[in-house]
Amino acid sequence: MKKILLLFVLSVSLLKASADEGMWLPMLLGEQVYADMVKKGLKLTKDQLYSINKSSLKDAILIFAGGCTGEIVSDQGLIFTNHHCGYSVIAGSSTVEHNYLQDGFFAYNRDQEIKSTISVVFLDRIVDVTKEVEDGVKGLAWDDRVKKIPDVYKAITEKVADKENGLSGRIYSMFKGNQYIMYVYKTYRDVRLVGAPPESVGKFGGDTDNWEWPRHTGDFSVFRVYGTKDGKPADYSADNVPLKPKHFLPVSIKGFKDGDFAMIYGYPGGTNRYETSYGIKLKNEIENPSLVAMRDIRLKLMFEQMIKDPAVKLKLANSYASIANYWKFFDGETKQLIKYHIYDEKQAFEQAFTSWAKGKPQYENIFADYAKNYATWTPYSKMRQYLNEGIMGSPLTAFATSFIPLEDKLLKNGTSAADIKKSTDALTASRKDFLANEDLVSDEKILAATCMAFYNDIDKSQHPIGFYESLRSNYGDLKDESTYKKWAHDVFSKTMILDDAKWNAFMAQPDAATLQADPAFNYSGGFLKNYNTKYSSLFQAFNVKNAELGRSYMKGIMEKDPAAVKKMYPDANFSMRVSYGNVKSYNPRDAVHYDYECTGKGILEKYVKGDYEFDLPVKLIDLFKKKDFGQYIDKARNDLVVSFITTNDITGGNSGSPVLDAYGNLLGLAFDGNYEALSHKIAFDKDLNRTICVDVRYVLWCIDKLGGAKNIINELKLVK
Ligand code: ARG
């Protein structure tokens, strides 16, 4: 009985999006979910949601800096996104003297805006290119199809590319290769920092509160996009002017209540809602714990130095934040996958699929083949994680791998001097960036600790040949930490990467023998080549086979329940999606209720003077105490609402996404997911999944009252 019930629930949750699950393709909203959106409260027409001819909501949404979402909020190209999305620009523009990361920054006029090297990308239109792609690979066996696909993509996207106007096409495989959709993008390259709150506001709660609700983080930053006078993309120039957007979002300071409609546009990076039980097992038993163990080591050693020295803090801040973010994510993901028995659910679903598939040659062996494929790769999975997350987690080691192409050229007969110079020039340029962010003390310790962890935890047959033996004969017992420390110290004092004189001498006359004798290159090249020569083809074969099986599995699922296909959405893959749902409180566990919004009162409750994560600007405390909330006040609470939660289905990449009301006005910015639903990439939990959003009233209060930047507020179209 229980099993049947489980299967029923599963067939609903896997096939049709239930509750507020679903990352919908913007151009299909009208066909797929519009009626339901209206039922839930939407007050816009289909054309206002997405149109290629008229301006629509999609025109205000952009890809921010390659991995986040941003939105246009004024007719002068003003952009809102998260603080953690602008973080590298904010930290990179800061010095110990002008510490914008620590103190915040606001441009009070255009001249004060700070140029950056990031770009923003608008969506021009979406085209279904399934037929063209399939025609291009017709009749090919799977392996050949995989090889041919990049060329087929290229031929299709070349037709829409238009350099002068910044247009380019990108093709996305949807439903695991059962459909191909091209997004045509317009990229703007002159993007300037306009403002950010102090880090104590923008990252309030730090990694302790990250991925958690209740939450009191002012996670926003402000940028502006510029183009030529006729609106074309251009490199930075003083002559460029703020872009006149096709659409910008009005900003609502009216507030909302529990249950109100909320919708989110953005660029969710990746989900795997049709992951198999095999994938979950590998993830839970090997991939996630290995990643977490390696990141534990690195984070601890970085943090030790960061709290000692503000200059080190600035150097490492961005990399620390991104390592910590997914360290906590993957740890929590496995905990939740186990807690919610997702493995068992998937197995039950797969058994039902296999029963259905009996006698259908296309489908009946899928899961037997999955079993074989996973069994072949699994013995190497831990080694791969230790290599990527441990060995290459030393910045020096990772940088040293960039010498491999030069080594190849030096070893090859007849490489021209010009060709070699191209490589050495590039290395000299990238060394500068590397050194700017390099903290020697933490890196040397990371090198020693990760090298030792690899020795201890990875099967000896997978070690690079000879490396640990030579370490033992030169430095001592491999069970002894001090062996690795002595060795790491030698690497750091002898490598040319950290020695200008040696570097210059080598670059003037590069030769393979000197390069191979460099201890940093020798180590990093040795580990990487060990992987590349023995294991990378296995990993590739594993992925290619999984992709083939995944495509058939997906096709089978659709065939099994054709009626459900109309209501299916493809996995997230960093193409624009729309999610709709409600503002909504929840019960995370027995007897506990979480309210749908957090307030200023809660900020003061969490405040710890001088704390690394819970400190606050004195000015903020003063203003809060005076209840100086201006027009941003929530009257019912006589306080500021700083954040809220919704039932929207989003994931990493959606950071910075606009949270919109029924009329398309901006209510806030999505910036996180909740701990109870960290399994969301694989299974959406209809009761517990929440998106955490910073309230736009708090954003505006920070800009106006805390930052004094009325000029920014004056640009917005406020809905009161
Ligand atoms: N969890 C957030 C996301 O992935 C990022 C938050 C960054 N903050 C931090 N404390 N690391 O979008």
How many Å from the N-terminal Cα to the C-terminal Cα in the chain? Answer: 54
**Which is more confident, 17 or 321?**
321
Question: What percentage of the chain reaches a pLDDT higher than 90?
Answer: 97
Q: How many structural domains compose the chain?
A: 1
Q: For position 5, what pLDDT does the model report?
A: 40
Ligand 1 atom nearest to 324, measured from its CA: 11
Ligand 1 atom nearest to 210, measured from its CA: 10
Q: Considering the domain boundaries, does residue 407 fall inside one?
A: yes
| Residue 14 predicted with pLDDT over 90 | no
Q: For position 478, what pLDDT does the model report?
A: 98
Residues labelled catalytic: 84, 219, 655
Ligand 1 atom nearest to 68, measured from its CA: 12
State the maximum Cα–Cα separation within the chain, in Å, rounded to a whole number. 78
**pLDDT (tens digit, 9 = 90+) per residue, 516-537?**
999 999 999 999 999 999 999 9
Please report which helix (H) or strand (E) contains residue 343, including its range: helix 342-357
Q: How far is CA 699 from the centre of its chain?
A: 22
CB 189 within 8 A of CB 139: no
Instruction: Identify which of 655, 675, 678 to mutate to test ligand 1's pocket (most ligand atoms within 8 A of the CB).
Output: 655
Question: What percentage of the chain reaches a pLDDT higher than 70?
Answer: 98
**pLDDT (tens digit, 9 = 90+) per residue, 172-200?**
999 999 999 999 999 999 999 999 999 99
| Residue 7 predicted with pLDDT over 80 | no
Instruction: Return the amino acid letter for 190.
Output: D
d(CA 220, CA 197): 8
Closest protein CA for atom 2 of ligand 1: 672
Per the structure block, which two tokens stand in for 424? 């050495």
**pLDDT (tens digit, 9 = 90+) per residue, 105-130?**
999 999 999 999 999 999 999 999 99
Q: What average pLDDT does the segment 196-216 reach?
A: 98
Q: Considering the domain boundaries, does residue 169 fall inside one?
A: no
CB 452 within 8 A of CB 481: yes
Residue 556 to residues 356, 366, 419, Cα–Cα distance (Å): 9, 10, 51
d(CA 274, CA 640): 41
Q: Considering the domain boundaries, does residue 496 fall inside one?
A: yes
| Residue 16 predicted with pLDDT over 70 | no
Domain boundaries, position 453: 394-534
Confidence label for 18 from pLDDT (cuts 50, 70 and 90): low
Nearest to 706 by CA among 602, 643, 616: 616
CB 36 within 8 A of CB 29: no
Closest protein CA for atom 7 of ligand 1: 84
Per the structure block, which two tokens stand in for 594? 């979480």
* Per-chain mean pLDDT for the chain: 96
Q: Considering the domain boundaries, does residue 522 fall inside one?
A: yes
**pLDDT (tens digit, 9 = 90+) per residue, 473-487?**
999 999 999 999 999
Q: Considering the domain boundaries, does residue 470 fall inside one?
A: yes
> How far does the centroid of ligand 1 lie from the alpha carbon of residue 123, in Å?
25
Query: Ligand 1: which residues within 6 Å by Cβ?
Result: 84, 203, 206-207, 210-211, 321, 324-325, 652, 655, 671-672
Q: For position 194, what pLDDT does the model report?
A: 98
Q: For position 292, what pLDDT does the model report?
A: 98
Q: Using the structure block, give the residue that is written with the tokens 């002898």.
A: 494
Per the structure block, which two tokens stand in for 248? 């910008």
Q: Considering the domain boundaries, does residue 315 fall inside one?
A: no
Q: What average pLDDT does the segment 605-624 reach?
A: 98
| Residue 495 predicted with pLDDT over 70 | yes
Q: For position 8, what pLDDT does the model report?
A: 40
| Residue 165 predicted with pLDDT over 60 | yes
Q: For position 12, what pLDDT does the model report?
A: 39
User: From the CB of residue 688, how many other CB atoms can be counted at a distance below 10 Å?
Assistant: 20
Nearest to 97 by CA among 295, 276, 310: 310
Q: Considering the domain boundaries, does residue 40 fall inside one?
A: no
Q: Considering the domain boundaries, does residue 471 fall inside one?
A: yes
Q: For position 19, what pLDDT does the model report?
A: 76
> How far does the centroid of ligand 1 lie from the alpha carbon of residue 43, in Å?
32
